[in-house]
Amino acid sequence: MKSKPIYVEIKMQTKLDQLWKYTQTPELHQEWDLRFSEIAYLPREIGDPLQKFLYRTRIGFGLNIKGTGETKAITQDQEDQPVSTLKFGSEQRISLIRIGGGYWKYKPDSNGREITFITQYDYQTRFGAVGRWMDRLLFRPLFGYATAWSFDRLRIWLEKGTAPVITMERTLGHYLSVISLMLIWLYQGIVPKLLFPESGEMTLLRKTGWFPGSEEVILSIVGAAEVGFALLLYFKHRKKWVFKLQALALLVLGIAAIIGSPELLQASFNPLTLSIAMGVLGLFAMRTIHDLPNAANCLRRPSPKSIKAGS
């Protein structure tokens, strides 16, 4: 079964010449596109419509994928819309992609203030059936996601003026905060409450005297709620209300723990210090929600008209 080409479409509030500049200039292109670490145009003869280039992508552990390509800008297509075609490939044996090609299309609206930016590309892989399965199950979905995420990062740059490096720093800070909070909520819900309640949590709850005879049930409910909140963070981390809800939950749980066992404040790591740390992480995550790139802002399936235009 042949894999479908990767397709990404996004609308941007910008002008055609601006979008063309940021996508056709190598120094600008490599700033917003996750797929490329470096892009360098090679010299070409005057009048030659093909622009050859070199590209490099860092994949970690000191490894780089290097390749070559050529692009051709078509000022107007059959629908009087700019198109840029692309061919690329790598001779490195560690590169899953052997050769590929595609296009970029720029579709301005009637007043020229909004551009629909479209790409569609496909490629051939190495390593036979293993490479094809690896591509279908892992690489192609990741490559498509990276393309869509990059397109939205470009949109933010053009519409908001936020440089890609700032966007990346904000994204890393946001997700590190969210992941840290998720892990804390999961640990607090699963380990001391659901798996090992007699390690201390049950004793603290009994000392409050609030739920005589029902401590085990209440502790299980609280643990399940904390696990549920970790999942809520995963699905709703782009919503400010979830972090406000967290602040309220931390306040309630912290006050309850201190009222039940005031001596906890004397411990090195106590409910007060934990709540403050989690509250700060939540505040930072909430403050970094603004202008986060989101692959979901892109269409991932072409309309019949788009397929015809790109053929």
Q: What pLDDT, on the 0 to 100 scale, is given for residue 262?
A: 76
List pLDDT tens digits, range 2-46. Answer: 789 999 999 999 999 999 999 999 999 999 999 989 999 999 888
Phi, psi (degrees; rounded to nearest 5) at 267? -75, 155
In this structure, the answer to whether residues 119 and 204 fall within a common structural domain is no
Confidence of residue 159 (pLDDT cuts 50, 70, 90): very high
Of the two residues 267 and 213, the one the predictor is more confident about is 213
CA atoms within 13 A on the CB side of 134: 11
Q: What pLDDT, on the 0 to 100 scale, is given for residue 252?
A: 87
Has residue 36 been placed in a domain?
Answer: yes
Of the two residues 270 and 4, the one the predictor is more confident about is 4
Confidence of residue 310 (pLDDT cuts 50, 70, 90): very low
- Judged by average pLDDT, the poorest of 153-157, 161-165, 185-189, 251-255 is 251-255
- The residue segments making up the domain with residue 20 are 6-162+293-310
E-strand spans in the chain?
Answer: 6-12, 38-41, 50-60, 63-74, 83-89, 97-108, 115-125
Mean pLDDT of 163-180: 96
* Cβ proximity of 56 and 65 under 8 Å: yes
Whether pLDDT at 216 is above 60: yes
In this structure, the answer to whether residues 74 and 151 fall within a common structural domain is yes
In this structure, the answer to whether residues 194 and 110 fall within a common structural domain is no
Domain tally for the chain? 2
Has residue 185 been placed in a domain?
Answer: yes
CA atoms within 13 A on the CB side of 29: 17
In this structure, the answer to whether residues 127 and 264 fall within a common structural domain is no
Residue 261 corresponds to which tokens in the numbers above?
A: 């066992």
Residue 237 corresponds to which tokens in the numbers above?
A: 């981390």
* Average predicted confidence (pLDDT) for the chain: 89
In this structure, the answer to whether residues 65 and 146 fall within a common structural domain is yes
In this structure, the answer to whether residues 38 and 79 fall within a common structural domain is yes
Confidence of residue 84 (pLDDT cuts 50, 70, 90): very high
Q: What pLDDT, on the 0 to 100 scale, is given for residue 309?
A: 46
Confidence of residue 1 (pLDDT cuts 50, 70, 90): low
Residue 109 corresponds to which tokens in the numbers above?
A: 């609206």
In this structure, the answer to whether residues 306 and 259 fall within a common structural domain is no
Mean pLDDT of 154-176: 96
List pLDDT tens digits, range 37-72. Answer: 999 999 988 878 889 999 998 877 677 899 999 999
Mean pLDDT of 255-284: 82
List pLDDT tens digits, range 101-132. Answer: 999 999 998 777 899 999 999 999 999 999 99
The most confident of the ranges 106-110, 168-172, 304-308 is 168-172
In this structure, the answer to whether residues 189 and 256 fall within a common structural domain is yes
Q: What pLDDT, on the 0 to 100 scale, is given for residue 311?
A: 46
Q: What pLDDT, on the 0 to 100 scale, is given for residue 307?
A: 52
Please report, for the domain that includes residue 62, its CATH number: 3.30.530.20
Strand order in the sheet with 97-108: 6-12, 115-125, 97-108, 83-89, 63-74, 50-60, 38-41
* Cβ proximity of 156 and 170 under 8 Å: no
* Cβ proximity of 202 and 219 under 8 Å: yes
Q: What does the alpha-carbon distance between residue 209 and residue 187 come to, in Å, rounded to a whole number? A: 25
- Judged by average pLDDT, the poorest of 218-222, 258-262, 279-283 is 258-262
In this structure, the answer to whether residues 33 and 116 fall within a common structural domain is yes
Mean pLDDT of 252-265: 77
Q: pLDDT > 90: what percent of the chain?
A: 66
Q: ∠272-277-278 over CA atoms, to 5°?
A: 100
Has residue 1 been placed in a domain?
Answer: no
In this structure, the answer to whether residues 100 and 177 fall within a common structural domain is no
In this structure, the answer to whether residues 207 and 262 fall within a common structural domain is yes
In this structure, the answer to whether residues 252 and 155 fall within a common structural domain is no
Whether pLDDT at 303 is above 70: no
Q: What pLDDT, on the 0 to 100 scale, is given for residue 89?
A: 93
